[in-house]
Structure 1
Amino acid sequence: MNATLRFLGAADTVTGSRYLIDTGAARVLVDCGLFQGYKVLRERNRAPFPVPPESIDAVVLSHAHLDHTGYLPALVRDGFAGRVYATSGTADLSEIMLRDSAHLLEEEARHAAHGHWSRHTDPRPLYTVADVERALDRLRPVGFDEEIDLGDRLSATLVPAGHILGASSVRIAVGGRITHFTGDLGRDDDPLMRPPRRFAGAAVLVTESTYGNRRHAPIDPEAPLGEIIRRVSARGGVTLIPAFAVGRTESILLHLSRLRDRGELPDVPIYLNSPMAVDVSAVYQRHAEEHRMPPDELARMYAIATPVHEVDDSKLLNLRGGPMVIISASGMLTGGRILHHLVAYGPDPRNAVVLTGFQAGGTRGAALVAGERSLRIFGEDVPIRAEVVNIDTMSAHADADGVIAWMRRGPAAPEQVYVTHGEPAAADALRVRIERELGWPARVPEHGELVGL
C-alpha cells in the first residue's frame, strides 16, 4: 500500500494542525485546525482547501482547541460529508468551542462593517453558526482505545494525551504500520490533568514542538500569581487574565482557589467573563475520570469566580473599576470579551495584564511579551500602560525535556520522526535534541510537503 502523509498545517507554525493521509483509496484528515497569529498565516484560512473537501472520507480530531478543530465548519460547508471522530470529551468541548468561535467571527464581521475598519466593503465571517451546526452533525464520539475502522485497511485509535479534557494522541494504522500523532502532549506534573500515556512505539512519529526550545521553570505558579493580584489590588487596580476557556481557565481557577484557601488572596471580586468557560465547567464535571480533581475541590474551584453571561453585564465590568480580577478569553488576545476589557483598563498603569501561557507569533499576546505597548484593537491603536506580567509556567504542554522523556520511554526508535506544531526555532531545536540525544532520524517538514508512509 503506497500511503502518503501531507502536511497541510502546523508545518511552519504552531497553529493550523492538519495532516492528510492518503492511501489512494481513502483519505483521512487528522485534525482540522485554524491558522492563528500572523496575517500571512490567518489568510490560509480563507484559501481553498488544498484537496477537495468532498474527497476526504473521515476526520479524526486529537482535541478540542481551535488550532486543531476550528476549520471544521468551513470544511463541511465546502463539501466534506464524512464522519468526524473524537473522544467523548473532545466532542462535548468542540460543541461549545465551535459555536463560540462562529459567534465571535460573526460579531467581529459586524463590528468591522459598523466601524469601517475592514478593507472589505462587506466583511464576512470565515463561517457562521449555521455552518457549525452542520459540522456538529458529523461528530461521532468514540472511547479511548476503541478501534475506528476507516476502510481500506485503515484504522485509528485514540489514546490519552493529557493536556486538556478529552485530548488524545492519534494512532493511525495503515496496512498494519502505525503512524503516531502526538496531538498536544500534556505534562506529567499538570495540576489538573492526568499525564499522557506512555509512547507505545510507531513506524512514524509526528510530534508537536510548542515548547521545543524551552524548559518550564520549576516554580509553582501560585506564588507569582498571588503576588501580582495582591500588588495590583493594593493600588486599586484591575488584574486582567486572558485565558483559553478550555484548560487554562480551569488551571487558573484551581490556583486561585488554593490561594484563597491558604489566605493568600485579597478579598476582591473575581469575575469569569467567558460564557464558554462557564459551559465547560459542566463538561469537566461529567468527565471526572479524566482529571485529578476530586468533586469537592472541583466545586470550590468553580465557586471562586462570579460567572458573567450577558453582554450588558460584561460591559458593566468596564465601568466598575478596581480592585477586581477578570478572567476572560482569548488567551492570546486574538478576540473575545477580553479585548473590550483591554481597551477599558489597558491604558491605566494601576492595572495589570497577566499572560499565562504560550503566545503564538503575530498575536497581541506575543506583542505584549515582546515589549509592545500599543495594540491595534477594533481598528484603533490602544496604549497599554498597565503592568504586563508573563507567567509561562502554567502551560498545559510538555516542555522540551518532557517531550524527550516521553519519547525515551518508547520501546524502539521510529523509522522517522516529523517535528511539527511549533514555531521554526522551537521545532528545529527539538529536532536537534531528538537526533543527538535519542539517535532517532528527525526532520521538520515544510508546509504542504508530501511524504511516503
Structure 2
Amino acid sequence: MKFTNLTRANEIGANSYLLEFDGEGRVILDAGLHPRREGEEALPNFSAIGELPADALVVSHAHHDHIGAVPLLVRRQEKMPVYMSEATHLLAEPLLHNSVEVMLKQRALLGITSYPLFTHKEVDRSAKSYRICRTGQECSLRGDSDPKGEPLSFRLYPGGHILGAVGVRFRYRDRQILYTGDVSFQEQTLLPPADFPLDGIDTLVIEATRGGKATPENQRRPMEIERLISSIEATFRRGGAVLIPVFALGKTQELLATLYLEQKAGRLSRCPIAIGGLSRSFTQVYDRLARRSFRRHPGLSLLEDVAPTVLDGRTIRQLSPKPGELYLISSGMMTERTLSNILAQRFLPCERHSIFVVGYCDPNSPAGQLLQTSRGNLVALDSESAPQPVLCEVDQFDLTSHAIREDLLAYILRVNPRLCVLVHGDPPALAWFQERLRDERPGLEVIVPPPGESLEL
C-alpha cells in the first residue's frame, strides 16, 4: 500500500490523503479546505494525486476542513463516486452552498479574484456523485453491497465527533487499515463515543489534534459543563449577557441540547437563546435524523423544544446585547468578519457581559488572541478596527468534540497495530505522540507523513 499526504503542511488544515492498493484501487480520504488560508493556498495539494483517476473518495465527516474541497475534486475526477454516511450527505449541501456565499463576499471585500473556487451549480453537480453507506456494512468501491471475494472493501464505523462522523476500515487481501477521521472517545450530550474495531488492525491512520495538550483529571466534560453553567448564572445575576462563539455544525447542537437539559434539571435559569441561520440548517438535520442515527436523546427536537431565536447578519450587526440572553453565534474562533467577531466587539467594553470559548481554538485566531489578553488590556479582534480594552469576563471551557490525547494513546496501545500514521495535528502534537509511543511501544513503527510525499507502507 502507498500513502500520500495531500495536505500542504503537518498541521490542522486542509485534510486529504491518498491510499493506493497495489493496482486494486486508488482511494482519497477527505477533501477539505484550510480554515485560515485563502484562495488556492486553502486547497489540498491535489496535484500529488497524479494523472491516474481515483476510484473513490471517502468523506469522514462534514466539517469544512474535511469536506470543503469536494466540489473541486469531483470537477477533477468526474466519474469518481463519493462515499459518506447519511448525515454527512445531508449536512454537506448547506455547508458547501454557504461556502460559496462566503467566498463571493470575500471576493467583493478582499479582492480575491480566484473566488469562488466553485459555484452553486458545482455543489449541486458534485452531490450527484454522493453514495450513502450504512455503518457496519461491508462496501465495495464498485458500489456493490456484497464485496465478497473482492481483494479490497471498506466499512464505516461511528466516530463520535459530530453527527455522521465515521472512521473507515479498509480490508485489503489479508490486511486491515483504519482511518479514524476526527474522533471522540468520550460521550457527548448528543453523541455516543466512537465505536471502532479493536482487533486485527495492521495500519492505523489516526488524528493527533490534541496531542500537545494534557487533560487534567478535574477537567473532564461533566465538570466543565458544571463550571460553564455556574459562570452563565453569575453573568445573569450581574445583569449581563453571554456570547459563546461556536462552530455552526456540531458545537451549536451540542450546546443547545446541554443548555436545554440543564434548564430542565433546574440548574440553569430559563433564558432566551439565539443562534445563526446556518446553525438552524444544520440543526434541522440533527432533528431529522434524531431517531435513525447514532444520536442520544432521540426524543429531543432541538428547534421545537429549545425554540432558539434565529438571527441573521443584519440583525446581529444592529444588535445590542440584552441582560439575561445567551448568544450561540459562529464562528467558533471568531474569525474576522464573522458574526461572532462582530458581536464580540460589543461585549468587550461592558463589565457585566461574558464571552465564553468552549471548543478548540487556534492561538493565532481572534478568539485565541482574546484568551491570551488579560482583563483591562487592549485586543484587536479585527485588523480594520482599533484595539479595545477587554472589560467583560472571558473564559474557556474544554467541551471539545476531539478525542483527548490520553484516549487516543489508549486506543493506539489497545489496537496495537504494526504501523501508526499520525495526521491532523500540529508539530508539538505529532511530536508528543511519537515520543510517547516510542517509550510505551518500542516495536511499533510510527510515521508522520511529509506533505506531498508518497510512502510505501
TM-score under structure 1 length normalisation: 0.87
> Structure 2 residue aligned with 1:155, among 153, 156, 176?
153
Counterpart of 1:330?
331
Specify the alignment match of 2:380 in structure 1. Answer: 375
Q: CA deviation at 1:300?
A: 6.2
**Aligned to 1:190, what secondary structure does the other structure show?**
coil
Equivalent residues in 2 for 1:4-15 (5 A)?
4-9=2-7, 12-15=10-13
1:209-235 deviation digits (Å, cap 9, x = unpaired): 111232262352222222222232233
Contact 1:187 1:396 in 2 (8 A): no
State the alpha-carbon separation in 2 of the partners of residues 31 and 16 from structure 1: 9
CA contact (8 A) 2:169 2:176 kept: yes
Secondary structure of 1:251's aligned partner: helix
Shift of 1:327: 0.4
The answer to whether the Cα contact below 8 Å between 2:276 and 2:312 also exists between their aligned partners in 1 is no
In 2: Cα distance, 1:29 partner to 1:86 partner: 12
Identity %: 26
Which residue pairs with 1:391 in the alignment? 397
Match of 1:215 in 2: 215
In the aligned structure 2, how far is the partner of 1:27 from the partner of 1:128? 27
Is the CA contact (8 Å cut-off) linking 1:253 and 1:302 kept in structure 2?
no
Q: 1:57 to 1:66 in 2, by over 3 A?
A: same
The 3-state SS of whatever aligns with 1:252 is: helix
- Deviation, 1:378, is 7.1
**Preserved contact between residue 12 and residue 426 of structure 2 (Cα < 8 Å):** yes
- Which structure 2 residues correspond to residues 347-366 of structure 1 after superposition, within 5 A? 347-366=349-368
Question: Following the alignment from structure 2 to structure 1, what is the Cα–Cα distance between the partners of residues 277 and 7?
Answer: 28
Alignment of 1:447 with 2:451, yes or no, is yes
Tell me which residue corresponds to 1:115: none
Q: Which moved more, 1:371-380 or 1:214-223?
A: 371-380
Distance change (3 Å), C-alpha of 1:243 and 1:76: same
With over 3 angstroms needed to count, the CA separation of the structure-2 counterparts of 1:57 and 1:121, relative to structure 1, is: closer
Secondary structure at the aligned position of 2:122 is classed as: helix
- Provide the C-alpha distance between the structure 1 equivalents of 2:426 and 2:122, rounded to a whole number of angstroms: 30
Deviation, 1:155, is 2.5
- Structure 1 contact 245–330 (Cα < 8 Å) conserved: yes
> What letter is aligned with 1:241?
I
Which stretch shows the higher mean deviation, 417-426 or 440-449?
Answer: 440-449
Corresponding residue for residue 89 of structure 1: 87
Alignment map for 1:205-284 (pairs within 5 Å): 205-213=204-212, 214-215=214-215, 217-218=219-220, 219-284=222-287
Classify the secondary structure of the residue corresponding to 1:422: coil
Q: Where does the alignment leave 5 or more consecutive residues of structure 1 unmatched?
A: 113-117
SS state at 1:207 partner: strand
Partner-residue secondary structure (3-state), 1:288: coil
TM norm structure 2: 0.86
How many Å separate the matches in 2 of 1:121 and 1:427?
33
How far apart, CA to CA, are the structure 2 residues paired with 1:295 and 1:7?
38
Structure 1 residue 122, shift from structure 2 partner:
4.5
> Per-residue deviation at 1:183?
0.8
Rounded Cα–Cα distance in structure 1 between residues aligned with 2:192 and 2:8: 25
Q: Write out aligned runs for 1:20-419 (5 A).
A: 20-23=18-21, 25=23, 26-37=25-36, 39=37, 43-45=41-43, 49-51=47-49, 55-110=53-108, 112=109, 118=110, 120=111, 122=113, 124-150=115-141, 153-197=151-195, 198-213=197-212, 214-215=214-215, 217-218=219-220, 219-296=222-299, 298-299=300-301, 303-308=305-310, 310-316=312-318, 318-319=319-320, 321-334=322-335, 336-371=338-373, 373-377=378-382, 379-381=384-386, 383=388, 385=390, 386-392=392-398, 394-410=399-415, 413-419=416-422
In structure 1, what is the equivalent of residue 146 of structure 2? Answer: none
Displacement of 1:70 after TM fit?
Answer: 0.9
Give the residue type in structure 2 aligned to 1:326. Answer: Y
**Offset of 1:241 from its aligned partner?**
0.8
Distance change >3 Å, CA 313–CA 30, structure 1 → 2: same
Cα deviations by residue, 1:187-244 (Å, 9 ceiling, x for unpaired): 2332321121243332211111111232262352222222222232233333111112
Q: CA deviation at 1:79?
A: 4.7
1:329-380 per-residue CA deviation (whole Å, 9 max, x = no partner) reads: 2212236432332243344343222111111354223322333853353743
Aligned residues: 438
**TM-superposed deviation, 1:127:** 2.9
RMSD: 2.9
Structure 1 residues 123 and 266: alpha-carbon distance in aligned structure 2, compared to 1, 3 A threshold: farther
Deviates more, 1:99-108 or 1:299-308: 299-308
My pick for the range that moved more, 164-173 or 347-356, is: 347-356
Given that residues 27 and 56 in structure 2 are in contact (C-alpha distance below 8 angstroms), is that contact kept between their aligned partners in structure 1? yes
Deviations 1:116-169 (A, max 9, x none): xx3x47472333323322222211111112233226943322111211111111
Higher relative contact order (CA 8 A, sep 6+): 1
For residues 8 and 290 of structure 2, the distance between their equivalents in structure 1, rounded to whole angstroms, comes to 29
The 8 Å contact of residues 91 and 282 in structure 2, kept in 1 or not, is answered as no
C-alpha distance in 1 between matches for 2:27 and 2:128: 18
Distance 1:10 1:242, change over 3 A: farther
Cα offset, 1:10, TM superposition? 7.9
Counterpart amino acid of residue 374 in structure 1: V
Q: Deviations over 1:86-108 (max 9, x none)?
A: 01121112222222222222233
Give the direction of change, closer, same or farther, for the CA distance of 1:300–1:63 in structure 2 (3 Å limit): closer
Q: Where does the alignment leave 5 or more consecutive residues of structure 2 unmatched?
A: 143-149
